[in-house]
Amino acid sequence: MASPQAEALKQMMRDFRAAAIGTADAPPPTVEEQRAGAAAGMEVMGVMPEGVTTTETTLAGLFALDQRPDGGLDDRVVLYLHGGGYVVLSPRTHAKLTAGLAKAAGCRVVSVDYRLAPEHPHPAAVTDGLAAYRALLDEGYAPHQIAISGDSAGGGLTVATLVAARDAGVPQPACAVPLSPWVDIEGTGESMDTKAEADMVVGRDGLKLMGDMFIAGGDIRDPLAAPLYADLRGIAPLYVQVGGDETLLDDSTRLIAKAAAAGVEVRLDVFPEMQHVFQTCLGMIPEADDAIARIGQYLRTKLAID
């Protein structure tokens, strides 16, 4: 059963959805309005953990936030790819979440500001994701010292970056941690309907609005845009977390099933009654704190920290 804190946050999440994509009884918001509304919504999500230093920097020519926990390792790094439907949000909006990951894992996290649609439709995001990963390798990190993580669209981009790296002959990182990954732009999973009433954040209308801008008339099943359709053989181990009340639940379950069938080492944690990317509420709900702790332990094991 969801905690009282998580139940109390549902209205806040519904308000976030309205700010990011509008409501059915109003004209669709402009891209600028979507971005402002979504950023404002993220301001009230989560608590910034203590003991993490955040520095603005660049990686592969992209703006980035470099977050380092007190006493953490600098020779291990997590590349983070933020969510937002490939249209909204940024490293700044996700700073509390990524700081939490840095502290839990005990190592550096670099969150990059990859290019967004509609100004930069697919494949701009995956081009930037691969460039950022290559840049970390160029800094001197070995592949086994790097993990990649991301949420929602950034979770899908995490998987797409692994596929793009493999196809380019670039060694895989130690692991990847997609949170509530969006890997099917069409929204064909059964949970799009069965969880529609329970999900306060993601629905068909919003996914279509952002998906159309992201694809911009291209192939909606391009495996680097919708990695559910990718050949997943040879990619890094995957640890996926997803909420049980998400319309995108089946994106996670189908991705994990396909990856396992391709011989990929996988782990899936479904958190009952949780909303889309509930981890952003760290410090506010116990389920988010539990999820971040699990990710931290997974990353410490895969990156040989401690």
pLDDT in tens, the chain (306 residues): 789 888 877 877 777 776 676 666 677 789 999 999 999 989 999 999 999 999 999 999 999 999 999 999 999 999 999 999 999 999 999 999 999 999 999 999 999 999 999 999 999 999 999 999 999 999 999 999 999 999 999 999 999 999 999 999 999 999 999 999 999 999 999 999 999 999 999 999 889 999 999 999 999 999 999 999 999 999 999 999 999 999 999 999 999 999 999 999 999 999 999 999 999 999 999 999 999 999 999 999 999 998
pLDDT digit string, tens, across residues 56-78: 999 999 999 999 999 999 999 99
Beta carbons within 10 angstroms of residue 166's beta carbon:
18
Half-sphere exposure of 206 (CA within 13 A, CB side): 28
Q: Which of 263, 261, 182 is nearest to 226 (CA)?
A: 182
User: Alpha-carbon distance 10 to 263, whole Å?
Assistant: 37
> In the β-sheet with 238-243, what is the strand arrangement from edge to edge?
52-59, 62-69, 107-112, 73-81, 146-151, 175-179, 238-243, 266-271
pLDDT value at residue 151: 98
**Residue-level pLDDT at 306:** 80
**Active site (catalytic) residues:** 152, 246, 276
The token pair at 179 is: 């949170």
Residue 263 and residue 237 in contact, taking contact as beta carbons nearer than 8 Å? no
